[in-house]
Amino acid sequence: MATSPVLYFAPGTCARVSLTALEEIGEPFETRLLVFMKGDHRAPDFLAVNPSGKVPALVTDEGTITQNSAILWYLAARYPEAELLPRPSSPMEAAELIAQLSHFSADLHPLVTRIVMPVPIVSSPEAEMQLRENGAQGLTFHLRVIEQTLADRPWLLGERWSVLDSYLGWVWFRTTGAGFDGSEFSRIGEHYARLNERPAVKRCIAREAAAQAELVTRGLAPAHLKNV
């Protein structure tokens, strides 16, 4: 009998995208909360799951998958009825979808990191400001393209939601929550509001909020972090 998948996550991180996908699927799954402040992500137990020490990681009855884009691709193929992504009918269509996933994980995510937490990668307040500014400029460039895409459609791929929308939602939540000025991107703001109306997204945010509350109670996370 197949066992339920287990997602390693931490609230507010990019693991939210995979968590949303699991909520959208609606099949039973488990989560394991990693406490970054305690260094859980560098502990041998977790490094045995993901040697890169990063969330998300998904343990399935077929093996362990790391990297959001790989997890999303796997879940979309394994649970086609959840319609996480359109079903590619040719190598070209598959390549286009992989390019879109990679755009979020490889182009946008590093810019999010520059804006949200440049401290571990710089040595002075000036360098930190420069890195944030550089991240904001890069993100603005990419969000302008997305803002244009959303001119004639509610979701990134058209009339139907896909996990790409949740990836965009995480980028928006994380960066605007860290002070990025998103005022020129009204369509992306509306897209985010639309996204948060989805029952699966609500469940995902509630799950993260409960995890965050638990961490705050244990003194293992700052109390001011928001979940939406």
Ligand X SMILES: N[C@@H](CCC(=O)N[C@@H](CS)C(=O)NCC(=O)O)C(=O)O
- For ligand X, how many residues bind (rule: CB under 6 A)? 11
Torsion of CA 136, 142, 146, 147, to 10 degrees: 50
Closest distance of CB 60 from ligand X, Å: 16
List the one residue from 31, 64, 100, 105 that touches ligand X (CB under 6 A).
Answer: 105
Stretch that binds ligand X, among 53-61, 84-92, 125-133, 187-195 (CB under 6 A): 53-61
Task: Give Cβ neighbours of residue 165 (< 8 Å, ≥ 6 apart).
Answer: 155, 156, 191, 195
Q: Does 67 bind ligand X (CB under 6 A)?
A: yes
Q: Does 14 bind ligand X (CB under 6 A)?
A: yes
In terms of Cα–Cα distance, which of 87, 94, 79, 95 is closest to 27? Answer: 79
For ligand X, the closer CB: 67 or 166: 67
Edge to edge, the sheet with strand 30-33 lists 30-33, 6-9, 57-60, 63-66
For ligand X, the closer CB: 29 or 154: 29
Closest distance of CB 186 from ligand X, Å: 26
DSSP 8-state symbol, 82: G
Q: Does 13 bind ligand X (CB under 6 A)?
A: yes
Q: Does 175 bind ligand X (CB under 6 A)?
A: no
Stretch that binds ligand X, among 50-58, 87-95, 178-186, 200-208 (CB under 6 A): 50-58
For ligand X, the closer CB: 100 or 105: 105
Return the structure tokens found at 181.
């000025």
Q: Does 168 bind ligand X (CB under 6 A)?
A: no
Stretch that binds ligand X, among 49-57, 122-130, 138-146, 156-164 (CB under 6 A): 49-57
Closest distance of CB 51 from ligand X, Å: 12
User: What Cα–Cα distance (Å) separates residue 165 from each residue in 32, 48, 170, 190, 215?
Assistant: 24, 31, 9, 12, 28
Q: Does 53 bind ligand X (CB under 6 A)?
A: yes
Q: Does 100 bind ligand X (CB under 6 A)?
A: no
Cβ 121 vs Cβ 131: under 8 Å: yes
195-204 residues labelled b (16+ CB within 10 A) or e (exposed): beebebbebb
Neighbours of 99 (CB within 10 A): 10
In terms of Cα–Cα distance, which of 109, 140, 134 is closest to 122? Answer: 134
Q: Does 114 bind ligand X (CB under 6 A)?
A: no
Q: Does 68 bind ligand X (CB under 6 A)?
A: yes
Amino acid identity of 54? K
Question: Using CB under 6 A as the criterion, which residues of the chain lie in contact with ligand X when the complex forms?
Answer: 13-14, 41, 53-56, 67-68, 105, 109
